[in-house]
Structure 1
Amino acid sequence: MGTAERRGAPEESVAVRSQAERRRGAPDRDIPAPARAEEAAEGERRQEYRPLWVEEPARRHPLPDPVRTAAVRAVLVIAVTLVQAMVAFLCTLAGSWLAFPMVISGVASTVVATWAVVDVWVTRQVWNQRYGVVSEPSSTARALRRERRARRRQERASLREQERIRRRGGAGQLSHS
C-alpha cells in the first residue's frame, strides 16, 4: 500500500493495514523470506519508501499560544507541588527536621498551583472573548442589516444621479436642445 493510498484513507487504522499486508503475503521485517533476487529488491525498495508514521488530520484545533503557555506553566507548577508533597510525606515518615519546612512550602505550592490552573482558565476565556467568538446573528438582525444596506445603496444611487445631473450643467434640464 503506497503513501498516496494511505493518505487517501486516514480513517483506516494501523491494525487494519497490517492485517491487509499479512493477507497479501507481505514478509515480516525481521524474518528474511526465501525469494528471488528481484522480489527481494522490490521488497527493499517498498520498505525504503515506507514512512515512519502517517499524519492524520487533527480532530480539534490546537490550543492558542497564550493558552498553551499557561497550560505548560500550570503542569510544571503542579508537578513541582506533587514532588514537594511526596518529599514532605517521606520526611514526615522518617521523622526528619525537613518535614515541617516541606509541609509549609507544600501549602504555598498548592496555592501557586491553584493560581496556575485558574490562570489557564482565565487566559482561555480572555482569548476566546478577544479572538475566538464566532458571531452568528439571528435572522432578525440579518434582515435589519440587509434593509440598512439596501437603504444606503439607494441613497448612494440617488446621490450619484444628482451629481450626474449637476455635471451636465442643467438644473433639471430634460433635453439637450
Structure 2
Amino acid sequence: MRASGLLAVGSDRVRGTAERREAPGARRDVREKRHDRPLWVEEPARRRRLPDPVRTAAVRAVLIIALTLIQAMVAFLCTMAGSWPAFPMVISSVVSTIVATWSVLDVWVTRQVWNQRHGVVSIPSSTARALRRERRRARRQARATGRAPERIPGRGGAGQLSHP
C-alpha cells in the first residue's frame, strides 16, 4: 500500500511540474508534435547488401557453425559425465568441424566467383573502360579512312559475280 501511495504521489508531482511549465494551449501543441514526428528515420546503408548467392552461403555457414558449437558442447559435457555417447559425439564433432570449415570456405569462394562474374563497379575501372572504347573507335575510324583511298571506285563486290 505504501508503494502505491508513493507512485501516486510521484505521478502527481510529475503532472504538477508539467502543468506549471506549460500553458494549457501549449500542451496541445506538444501532443500534436509527438504525432507528427516519425517513428524512425531511414538512413542510407553504410555497405551494400550482399548478393543473394553469397548471403545464402553465409546463412548456411552460420547455421552449420551454430550446430557445430552446440554439438561440441554436448560432446564435452558427455565426456565430463563419462556417459556412453561421449565417443560418438566427439567423432561427430570433429566431422562437423570439418563441415563448418568447408562452409566458411564456401562463402569465400561464392563471393569471389560472384565478383568475377558480375564485376565490382568502381569508378576508375569504368572510366578506363570508357577511355578504351573511345580509343578503339578512333582506331577503327582511322583504319576506315585510310582504306577508303585505296579502294577503286566502281569496283566493288556488290552485284558482280566474277572479276574480268
Letter in 2 for 1:114: T
* 1:84 to partner: Cα distance: 0.4
Structure 2 residue identity aligned to 1:115:
W
Q: Of the candidates 110, 113, 117, which is equivalent to residue 126 of structure 1? A: 113
Partner of 2:83, secondary structure, is coil
> In 2, distance between residues paired with 1:72 and 1:111?
17
CA gap 1:101/1:147 in 2 versus in 1, 3 angstroms: closer
- Quote the sequence identity (%): 63
Structure 1 residues 111-120 or 91-100, which shifts more?
A: 91-100
Give 3-state SS (helix, strand or coil) of 1:53's partner. coil
1:137 to partner: Cα distance: 7.6
- Return 5+ residue gaps in structure 1 as ranges: 1-30, 167-177
Q: Choose from 135, 140, 148 the match for 1:152.
A: 140
With structure 2 as the length reference, what TM-score do the two structures score?
0.67
The gaps in structure 2 that reach 5 residues or longer are 1-13, 155-164
Aligned mates of 1:147, 1:51 — CA distance in 2: 52
- Find the residue that maps to 2:140 and give its secondary structure: helix
Against the structure 1 CA distance between its residues 147 and 66, is the aligned structure 2 distance closer, same or farther, given a 3 Å change threshold?
closer
1:88 aligns with 2:71: no
For the residues of structure 2 that align with 1:50 and 1:138, how far apart are their CA atoms? 43
Distance in 2 (alpha carbons) for counterparts of 1:109 and 1:54? 43
Q: Which has the larger radius of gyration?
A: 2
Compared CA separation, residues 50 and 119, structure 1 to 2 (3 A): same
Q: Give how far 1:75 is off.
A: 0.4
Amino acid at match of 2:115: N
Give 1:97's aligned residue: 84
Aligned to 1:58: 45
Q: CA RMSD in A?
A: 3.0
Structure 2 CA distance, aligned partners of 1:89 and 1:112? 19
Cα shift readout 1:119-153 (whole Å, capped 9, x = no counterpart): 000000000000123472897x946x544312434
Task: Pick the structure with more helix per residue.
Answer: 2
**Given the two structures, how large is their TM-score scaled by the length of structure 1?**
0.62
